[in-house]
């Protein structure tokens, strides 16, 4: 074997190994969960069989019979998860930084086609794995751990929540697919108007998406009546 052939063979082996790691297919089971990453369960409330994905890994397509059977997600360590409706991390998406006991309540039960898992704070995935803005969950103003009043650039798809009526004062924005299960003190009692960008919004009176709710499909200049200063949790989809 010539030196040139040897180098080609070695590169081929490394290429094959990398391809295997990138395209590793999950299997239903009950193996020990990793310290970081996410595990995806057949049934709600983390019941039934599951498979796990470690931070920095993604599944660009789900094997037949798996993507349409995920009903709950357990997030492990300082990890975050984005699920996508379509293959190759495209289409409608939702971002989770905490356990999801029932994806049906989020509109995602049995609808996941691809998955990305990474460490907290998005790491180098601020513009998605493909380096574009197709997924507005990671635009510059989004803070998944909690809202921050400010005047950041509006998202292309999502919603912004304002302190004052008529879209005045400070605001925070949530990209399409983003959620806040519980707004901290100083936010749930100060939202007075909502601006919507190519998305729908559902606001809830109580945390964890409980209690009375209302869907918003267009800008609301004044949250009059019972809803003004009464929002405790938010979904944008």
pLDDT score, position 235: 86
Q: What is the pLDDT of residue 6?
A: 47
Domains of the chain: 24-138 (2.60.20.10), 158-236 (2.60.20.10)
Q: How far is CA 98 from CA 30, 63, 95, 158, 199, in A?
A: 21, 25, 9, 20, 23
DSSP class per residue in 14-63: HHHHHHHHHTPPP--B-PPPPSSEEEEEEEGGGEEEEEEE-TT-EESSPP
- Per residue in 3-49, pLDDT (tens digit) is 555 444 444 444 444 433 344 578 888 888 888 889 999 999 999 99
In this prediction the pTM is 0.48
- Whether the Cβ atoms of residue 84 and residue 91 lie closer than 8 Å to each other: yes
**Euclidean distance between CA atoms 27 and 19, whole angstroms:** 18
**pLDDT recorded at residue 84:** 84
pLDDT for residue 162: 92
Below-50 pLDDT ranges, the chain:
6-23, 121-140
How much is the pLDDT for 119? 67
Confidence (pLDDT) at 10: 42
Which residues 6+ apart lie within 8 Å of 157 measured at CB?
A: 136, 175, 176, 197, 198, 199
User: What's the N-to-C CA distance of the chain in angstroms?
Assistant: 58
Using CB atoms within 10 Å of the CB of residue 131, give its burial: 0 to 12 exposed, 13 to 18 middle, 19+ buried.
exposed
**What local confidence, expressed as pLDDT, does residue 93 receive?**
77
Question: What contacts 215, CB < 8 A, 6 or more positions away?
Answer: 200, 201, 202
User: Contact 155/175 with Cβ under 8 angstroms?
Assistant: yes
Q: What is the pLDDT of residues 184-203, one digit of tens each?
A: 777 866 888 999 998 889 88
């Amino acid at each position: 074997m010539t030196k040139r052939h040897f180098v080609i063979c070695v590169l081929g082996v490394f290429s094959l190994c990398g391809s295997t790691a990138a395209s590793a297919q999950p299997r239903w089971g009950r193996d020990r969960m990793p310290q970081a990453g996410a595990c995806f369960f057949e049934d709600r409330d983390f019941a039934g069989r599951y498979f796990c994905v470690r931070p920095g890994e993604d599944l660009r397509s789900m094997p037949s019979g798996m993507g349409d059977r995920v009903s709950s997600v357990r997030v492990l360590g300082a990890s975050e998860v984005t699920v996508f409706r379509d293959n190759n991390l495209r289409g409608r998406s939702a971002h989770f930084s905490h356990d999801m006991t029932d994806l049906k309540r989020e509109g995602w039960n049995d609808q996941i086609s691809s998955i990305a898992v990474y460490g907290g704070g998005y790491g180098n995935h601020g513009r998605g794995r493909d380096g574009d803005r197709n997924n507005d969950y990671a635009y510059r103003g989004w803070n998944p751990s909690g809202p921050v009043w400010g005047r950041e650039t509006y998202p292309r798809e999502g919603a912004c929540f304002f302190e004052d009526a008529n879209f005045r004062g400070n605001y925070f924005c949530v990209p399409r697919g983003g959620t806040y299960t519980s707004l901290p003190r100083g936010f749930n009692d100060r939202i007075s108007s909502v601006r919507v960008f190519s998305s729908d919004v559902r606001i809830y009176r109580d945390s964890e998406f409980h209690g009375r709710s209302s869907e918003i499909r267009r800008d609301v200049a004044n949250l009059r009546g019972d809803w003004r200063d009464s929002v405790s949790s938010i979904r944008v989809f």
